[in-house]
Structure 1
Amino acid sequence: MDATLHLAQDPAADALLGRSPLAALTGMLLDQQIPMEWAFKGPWTIAERLGTDDLDAHEIAVYDPEAFAALLSRKPAVHRYPGSMAKRIQQLCQYLVEHYDADPEAVWRDAGSGQELRGRLEELPGFGRQKAQIFLALLGKQLGVRPEGWREAAGPYGEAQAYRSVADITGPSSLAKVRAHKQEMKAAAKARAGDGKA
């Protein structure tokens, strides 16, 4: 894996995301309830605190859970909920060790179809349907992983020029478009919730 990503909006963090499958998966896992750039800078922060320039699934899987939680909690914290996210990252790494011999890229390397790949992503700890679809769209749009039917399997996130998720962010202007789309979705959800109360 060797790509140029712009998800963390930080050159060093983005470089890690572009070369490390585990960093990309970890960033996607962290991408909830915090700003996207914060989430995708998380893998680089973790690697730096581990004293390495990459993330290793086996190392994280066997790391002392309390020490790993403390690592993520150190200021500035990697996430708003560093303890629970530390546990999820370790669960993800333990799953990768058990099912993919600690090789995260194996999740998508030989997937025969978009549906198969989405299924594999949905099985990852911390990944539901939506997260799996967004990551599948990121793989297809920016990382060149395009098994047959990948756009369909990614749902609306697979559409070209959609600007719905991190899969569509290639720089500041596309980031602004994705942010605007998310604000529209939040406003629509709020309006629907208000209608329900009436």
Structure 2
Amino acid sequence: MDATLHLAQQPEADELLGRSPLAALVGMLLDQQVPMEWAFAGPYTVARRLGRDDLDAHEIAAYDPEAFAALLSDKPAVHRYPGSMAKRIQQLCQYLVEHYGGDASAVWRDAATGEELLRRLKDLPGFGTQKAQIFLALLGKQLDVRPKGWREAAGAYGEPKAYRSVADITGPESLAKVRAHKQEMKAAAKAAKAGK
């Protein structure tokens, strides 16, 4: 994996996301209840605090849980909920060690179809259907991971120029379009709730 991503909107953090499959997965895992840039900068922050230039699934899986939670809680915290996210990151890494020898890219490397890849992503701890579809779309649109039927498996997130998620963010302009889409969705949901 060697791509230029623009999800953290910080050059060093984005560089790590583009070259490290595990960092990209961890960023996606963190992408909830915080601004996207904060979530995707998280892997870089964790790597720096571990004294490394990359993340290692074996190291994180074996890390003392209390010490790892403290590492994520140090100011500035890696997430709004650093303790629970530390646990989730460790669960993800433990799963990757157990099922993929600690190699995050093995999740998608030999997937024959988009459906198979979607299933593998949904099997990851912390990845529900929506998160798995968004990550699948990111893999296809920006990281050249395109097994047969990947767009269909990614659902609406796989549509070209959908501007629905991180899968479509390639810079400030597309980030603004994704933010506008999310605001529209929130407004529509609020209006639907008020109309009940």
Question: RMSD of aligned C-alpha atoms?
Answer: 0.3
Matches within 5 A, 1:10-25: 10-25=10-25
Matches within 5 A, 1:1-198: 1-196=1-196
Distance 2:52 2:103 in 1: 17
Distance 1:64 1:193 in 2: 44
Distance 2:162 2:132 in 1: 17
SS at match of 1:71: helix
Give 1:195 deviation, angstroms: 1.2
SS at match of 1:34: coil
Deviation sequence 1:11-54 (CA, Å, 0-9, x none)? 00000000000000000000000000000000000000000000
Amino acid at match of 2:9: Q
Amino acid at match of 1:160: P
SS at match of 1:112: coil
Distance 1:113 1:69 in 2: 36
SS at match of 1:138: helix
Distance 2:8 2:54 in 1: 16
Amino acid at match of 1:54: D
Distance 1:193 1:68 in 2: 40
Identity across aligned pairs (percent)? 82
Deviation sequence 1:47-90 (CA, Å, 0-9, x none)? 00000000000000000000000000000000000000000000
Instruction: Give the total of aligned pairs.
Output: 196
Deviation sequence 1:136-193 (CA, Å, 0-9, x none)? 0000000000000000000000000100000000000000000000000000010111
Q: TM-score, normalised by structure 1?
A: 0.99
Distance 1:48 1:102 in 2: 20
SS at match of 2:195: helix
Deviation sequence 1:85-104 (CA, Å, 0-9, x none)? 00000000000000000000
Amino acid at match of 1:178: V
Amino acid at match of 1:125: P
User: Gaps (5+ residues) in structure 2?
Assistant: none
Amino acid at match of 1:3: A
Give 1:129 deviation, angstroms: 0.1
Would you identify which runs of 4 or more consecutive aligned residues in structure 1 move more than 4 Å?
none
Distance 1:26 1:103 in 2: 13
Give 1:6 deviation, angstroms: 0.2
Q: TM-score, normalised by structure 2?
A: 1.00
Deviation sequence 1:94-150 (CA, Å, 0-9, x none)? 000000000000000000100000000000000000000000000000000000000
Amino acid at match of 2:140: G
